[in-house]
Amino acid sequence: MRAAQVIRLGLLAQGLLALAGPARGLVAPLARLEAGAGGQVVLDWSPVPGADHYLIHSRSAPAGPAQLLASVTAGPYLHAAGAGRLFFTVTAAGGIPAWPLGPAPVSAHPAADVISLFSDAYPDVPVDSWSAPWDQADVQEVQLAGDATLLFTNLTFSGSEFVTHAIDATGLTHFHFDLWTPDPTAPPAAFRVKLVDFGANGLYGGGDDSESELALDAGSSPPLASGCWLGYSLPLAQFGGLASRAHLAQLLFSGDPDSVFVDNLYFLRDAGWSPPTEPEGPAPLPTRDASRVLSLFSDAYADLQVDSWSAAWDQAEVEERQLAGEPVKRYSGLGYAGIEFVSQPVDAGSMTHLHLDLWTAEPTAPPAELRIKLVDFGANGVWDGGGDDREHELAFHSQSTPPLQRGSWSGLDIPLAAFTGLTTRRHLAQLILSGSLDTLWLDNPYFFNHCDPWTPPAAAASASLCAASESRELELVWQDEFNGPAGQPPDPAKWDYDVGTGWGNAQLEYDTNRPANAALDGAGCLNLVARREDYQGSAYTSARLVTRGRFEPTWGRVEARLRLPVGQGIWPAFWLLGADIGQVSWPQCGEIDIMEYRGQQPDLNHGSVHGPGYSGGGCFTNSFQLPGAGFHQDFHVFRVDWSAESIEWFVDDQSYGIVRPADLAGPWVFDHPFYLILNLAVGGSFVGAPDECTIFPQTLSVDWVRVSQELR
């Protein structure tokens, strides 16, 4: 949608003054604006692709009433202008002007049934502020054909306060307002309305506060739309999070529209209204990319197989109803409902959220609640009450995040990371609903990934390649090819474990010696696996393998063939540490990083050395950018050639950096034994913490590790 062009004309004695500036709306681009003969104004514009003709409106003031002057095709238009200033808006026919062409409809409710905040139709209660100091919005009062209207712009969230004259809406049924926006409102856009009750003490944070928010979107009644006045009378019963409506003190607007005109804000009593007992229509149709969705039940996507919507062992009745031609599940007598997909478990390992659309006519304020449980049966596909089974349950009500509302569809997008006990979600077999609600309507249960997949930079920089040092004749002196049965731990004659957490880098994982974190895969690889699970006071587990005391070379070619994990906060490394660290500490012992990588930058490897005078953020570093791909997509060989005179870094036999003693800001400390380390860290000073887009488990796959030394 193009930005509207608003042209300000000033007809002065000296001639025509023209100022043009952007405003919102779909309009033709202006090509020429000039004064014509006999007090005429000439407007000339070029066509917009797909538009046949244009509308021209005029106002005597920016917020004044608009007059439609013409509906014409592209080209010059002459207008006879009198003295003074005029405001013109040229829009493609059917486009949206920057301002409403008229005020909101006049309200007709009896004044005795209304408590008004802002309306020309009723006396208003005092409002302390339409834009509190803590909000992120600009507000002004404008006139539309003589009718006062509030214009909110730069709207992130607005805070309107009436604390000194709190409203008692106990006996009222609805909150009404009229809304107009020029901004796009197509899904997933939403406009949110929140009411806050400060409680009997009149203080926010006083212990008896409550609040509730409703979202208006394409599925609301009326549907959220652009360029027209929309009248919303929201049942106060739908604000289920309000424990009381006797001390309402704040009204908050937020959402996607950046600019909104609002009029006729008031609470009202509709004596003929009673809360609905069933949804008036189906839940909004999902619009997420189908390639990133695993659906159990939805008209928008192909559904996976579900064995039962009410398992034989549950306590619930389920029936399928049609709402406006769309199927919806209705549960009644809901003690607990077991939805099973055991025969074809869902692999949601790459998903980030569970979505459910829910509707209930029953109260949702605490202590009422709905509990949602996910169960993973493990690789054996059998629930045996232990072994590799995992499950976790969350509770939702009007005060939860996200909230469960009463009397309206609640679209819950629940982060799978919130199911903390669900340490694997690759064999999900059950979704269980329980709680205090007796009747519940369910639609659109699906898993989805809301994170944009990583793509290579549009113009990835070429790796800075060096001329490789002279090759020497080498012999293989140590290796591990990781051949063995699946689940076997790495060879204890070659590898030991560092067990613990932190490691001086604020890492978040607890490194263990369990096969769950480090084991052969049976196909010739060692897998180091980082998992999200509570263990020894940490939220994650992983592994850190070392050759300390088993193999500690001085100089040589050290290399490994690796496929790296990916994601914010994931930090794999293949490196060497001075074996004398117990005597001289770090960095005096020296450190050589062969592969070090941030999971959020999966095309960039770092090769570094640390020593006295050049450690931490001041280390000597070279970086290699993989053109057009990420290191998580395939195996690559990472290596250093280390000698008494230099250390040279390679990726797939391409040299990208070399360091010699003269290049360092401190002494060369790489002339004594070092041991090898393979580890997969989670979080820490180098990468930051994982976020909701980080998928667990994450795996560092090691095909082989080899060390060669020069023949003597």
Residues classed as catalytic: 591, 596
545 token code pair: 């393998």
Sheet holding 544-546, edge to edge: 496-497, 544-546, 674-682, 570-578, 591-596, 604-610, 620-625
Give the number of other Cβ atoms within 10 Å of residue 111's Cβ. 12
**∠ Cα 530 523 560 (to 5°):** 65
Give the number of other Cβ atoms within 10 Å of residue 573's Cβ. 19
Dihedral angle computed from the Cα positions of residues 309, 312, 317 and 321, in that order, rounded to the nearest 10 degrees: 30
Among the residues of 532-628, which ranges form H helices?
581-584
Asked if 538 contacts 640 with a C-beta cutoff of 8 angstroms, the reply is no
Asked if 237 contacts 407 with a C-beta cutoff of 8 angstroms, the reply is yes
Contact residues for 228 (Cβ-Cβ < 8 A; gap 6+): 180
**With b meaning 16 or more CB within 10 Å and e meaning fewer, what string describes 653-687?**
eebbbbbeeeebebebbbeeebbbbbbbbbbbebb
What's the Cα-to-Cα distance from 660 to each of 321, 326, 483, 615, rounded to whole Å? 75, 71, 37, 16
140 token code pair: 């002004």
Asked if 651 contacts 605 with a C-beta cutoff of 8 angstroms, the reply is yes
> DSSP assignment, residue 104?
P
Asked if 692 contacts 417 with a C-beta cutoff of 8 angstroms, the reply is yes
End-to-end CA distance of the chain: 73
DSSP per residue, 648-682: EEEETTEEEEEE-GGGSSS----SS-EEEEEEEEE
54-59 and 67-72 strand pairing = antiparallel
Asked if 648 contacts 640 with a C-beta cutoff of 8 angstroms, the reply is yes
379 token code pair: 């690789």
**3-state DSSP percent of the chain in helix, strand and coil, to 5:** 5, 45, 50
Asked if 366 contacts 712 with a C-beta cutoff of 8 angstroms, the reply is no
> Phi then psi for 70, rounded to 5 degrees?
-160, 155
Which residues is 431 bridged to in the sheet? 339, 374
Among the residues of 577-666, which ranges form H helices?
581-584
Q: Write out the H or E segment, with its range, that includes residue 122.
A: none
Asked if 57 contacts 95 with a C-beta cutoff of 8 angstroms, the reply is no
> How far is it, in rounded angstroms, from Cα 240 to Cα 256?
23
State the maximum Cα–Cα separation within the chain, in Å, rounded to a whole number. Answer: 103
Dihedral angle computed from the Cα positions of residues 412, 417, 421 and 423, in that order, rounded to the nearest 10 degrees: 130
353-359 and 440-448 strand pairing = antiparallel
Contact residues for 643 (Cβ-Cβ < 8 A; gap 6+): 555, 710
Dihedral angle computed from the Cα positions of residues 108, 110, 111 and 113, in that order, rounded to the nearest 10 degrees: -120
**What is the Cβ-side half-sphere exposure of residue 19, based on CA atoms within 13 angstroms?**
9
Give yes or no for a cis peptide into 110 (omega within 30° of 0): no
Give the number of other Cβ atoms within 10 Å of residue 585's Cβ. 10
